[in-house]
Amino acid sequence: MIKYYIYAWLRNDGSPYYIGKGAGKRAWVKHPGCEAKRPNDSSLIVIMESNLTEIGALALERFYIRWYGRKDIGTGI
């Protein structure tokens, strides 16, 4: 069974600019087609929740995106 996690890419001030769901090395690789660029400093990649089912990870990803908002639509950081 695959275990998933929720991760954040952080700015230098510690605020997240990307929240994602992943498994394996997903948090540390470039995402094709994604405008957000992975931080060069791996200390700015944070695992927020781990050991999740895919359904649980999807739910938490949505929660965190709503919590922090989305800059592209003017609702968040």
Asked whether 9 and 44 are in contact (CB, 8 A), the reply is: yes
Write down the pTM of the prediction.
0.90
State pLDDT tens for residues 13-24: 999 999 999 999
**Grouped pLDDT means (10 residues each) for the chain, 77 residues:** 96 94 95 89 97 98 94 80
Nearest-angstrom CA–CA distance, 19 and 53: 17
Give me the amino acid identity at 44.
L
Phi/psi-derived region of residue 60, left when phi > 0, alpha when psi is between -120 and 50, beta in every other case = alpha
Give me the amino acid identity at 33.
G
